[in-house]
Amino acid sequence: MVNKSLLQNKEEVGASKTRFLLINRGNRPHSILLNFLEKDHLLNSFIKAYNTKMKPLRTLNCLARPIFRTPYICNNCLHTSTRLQRPSNPAPPPSSAYTLLPSRRIISLSGPDATHYLQGVITANLSPAVARTSGFYAAFLNAQGRILNDVFIYPDPKAEAGGWLIEVDSEEAERLAKHIRRYKLRAKFEVRVVGQEEMGVWSLWEGEEGPWTQHSLGEAGGERKLRGEEVGCGDKRAPGMGRRLLLPWGKKPEMDMEETTEDVYRVRRYLKGVPEGQKELIREAALPQESNVDFMGGVDYRKGCYVGQELTIRTHHTGVVRKRILPVMLYEKDTPMPQSLEYLPESHFGVEGITEDTASIGRFEKRGRSAGKWLTGVGNIGLGLCRLEIMTDIQAQGEGAGYKEGDEFTLNWDDKQMKIKAFVPPWHLTK
pLDDT recorded at residue 215: 52
Domain presence at residue 428: no
Whether 164 contacts 156, CB under 8 Å: yes
Answer yes or no: do 331 and 418 share one domain.
yes
Provide the 8-state DSSP code for 171: G
Does 245 lie in the same domain as 159? Answer: yes
The answer, yes or no, to whether residue 409 has pLDDT greater than 90, is: yes
Is residue 428 pLDDT above 70, yes or no? yes
Q: How high is the pLDDT of residue 276?
A: 98
Distance (Å, whole) CA 320 – CA 318: 6
Domain boundary among 59, 84, 109: 84
**Shared domain check, 170 and 77:** no
d(CA 90, CA 391): 28
Does 350 score more than 80 pLDDT?
yes
C-alpha closest to that of 281 among 135, 116, 123: 123
Angle at CA of residue 334, ends 332 and 339, nearest 5°? 65
Is 278 part of a structural domain of the chain?
Answer: no
Given a cut of 70, whether residue 180 has pLDDT beyond it is: yes
- pLDDT recorded at residue 162: 78
Examine the domain organization and report whether 372 and 262 are in the same domain: no
361 located within any domain: yes
**Tally: H helices and E strands in the chain:** 7, 20
Residue 14 has pLDDT above 50, yes or no: no
Are residue 333 and residue 385 in the same domain, yes or no?
yes
Q: Are residues 252 and 178 in the same domain?
A: yes
282 located within any domain: no
Q: Does the residue 31 lie in any domain? A: yes
Residue 165's CB is within 10 A of a number of other CB atoms, namely 24
77 pLDDT band, cuts 50/70/90, is: low
Q: Is a pLDDT exceeding 80 seen at residue 195?
A: yes
pLDDT category of residue 208 using cuts at 50, 70 and 90: low
**Counted domains in the chain:** 3
pLDDT of residue 229: 64
Q: How confident is the model at residue 146 (pLDDT cuts 50, 70, 90)?
A: very high
Give the percent of the chain with pLDDT over 70: 72
- H or E element in which residue 205 lies: strand 199-206
Is 188 a domain residue?
A: yes
pLDDT band for position 49 (50/70/90)? very low
Q: What is the mean pLDDT of the chain?
A: 79
How far is it, in rounded angstroms, from Cα 373 to Cα 385? Answer: 5
Among 213, 237, 272, give the residue marking a domain's end. Answer: 272
Q: What is the mean predicted confidence (pLDDT) over 160-189? A: 93
- pLDDT-wise least confident of 53-57, 143-147, 311-315, 404-408: 53-57
Determine the structural domain holding residue 24 and report its residue range: 10-84
Element (H, E) at 349: none
CA distance to 107, 192, 347, 356, per residue, from 416 (Å): 41, 45, 15, 15
| pLDDT recorded at residue 207 | 75
Is the confidence at residue 220, as pLDDT, over 50? no
Q: Which of 380, 371, 387 is nearest to 418 (CA)?
A: 380
**Residue 87: predicted pLDDT:** 65
The radius of gyration computed from the CA coordinates of the chain, to the nearest angstrom, equals 26
In sequence order, the 6+-apart residues with CB closer than 8 A to the CB of 50 are 23, 56, 57
Higher pLDDT pick, 88 / 402 = 88
Q: Output the domain CATH number for residue 400.
A: 2.40.30.110
**pLDDT of 28 above 70:** no
Q: Which of 23, 52, 84 is the last residue of a domain?
A: 84
At residue 198, the pLDDT reads 95
Say whether pLDDT at 31 is over 70.
no
Q: Per mean pLDDT, which range of 16-25, 182-191, 355-364, 372-381 is the poorest?
A: 16-25
More confident residue, 109 or 37: 109
Predicted confidence (pLDDT) at residue 110 exceeds the cutoff of 90: yes
Helix orientation angle between 75-84 and 41-50, rounded to the nearest 10 degrees: 100
Q: Is the pLDDT of residue 227 over 50?
A: yes
DSSP type of residue 376: E
Instruction: Note the maximum CA span of the chain.
Output: 81
Q: Are residues 253 and 382 in the same domain?
A: no
Residue predicted with more confidence, 230 or 1: 230
HSE at residue 152, side-chain half, CA atoms within 13 A, is 27
Contacts of 392 (CB under 8 A, 6+ apart): 326, 386, 403, 422, 424
Q: What per-residue confidence (pLDDT) applies to 71?
A: 44
pLDDT at 242 over 50: yes
Q: Do residue 102 and residue 157 come from a single domain? A: yes
Is residue 102 domain-shared with residue 236, that is, in the same domain? Answer: yes
Note whether 130 and 73 are same-domain residues: no
Percent of all residues in the chain with a pLDDT value above 90, rounded to a whole number: 55
Whether residue 368 has pLDDT greater than 90: no
Tell me the CATH number at 107.
3.30.70.1400
pLDDT higher than 60, residue 69: no
* SS3 letters across 182-194: HHCCCCCCEEEEE
Q: Is residue 73 part of a domain?
A: yes
Task: Please tell me whether residues 79 and 113 are part of one structural domain.
Answer: no
Residue 94 confidence (pLDDT):
95
Other beta carbons within 10 Å of 66:
13
Q: What is the pTM for the complete model shown?
A: 0.77
Residue 383 has pLDDT above 80, yes or no: yes
300 falls within a domain:
no
**Whether pLDDT at 26 is above 50:** no
Q: Which helix (H) or strand (E) holds 389?
A: helix 388-391
Whether the Cβ atoms of residue 409 and residue 402 lie closer than 8 Å to each other: no
Beta strands 416-422; 323-331: pairing state: antiparallel
Do both 173 and 256 map to the same domain? yes
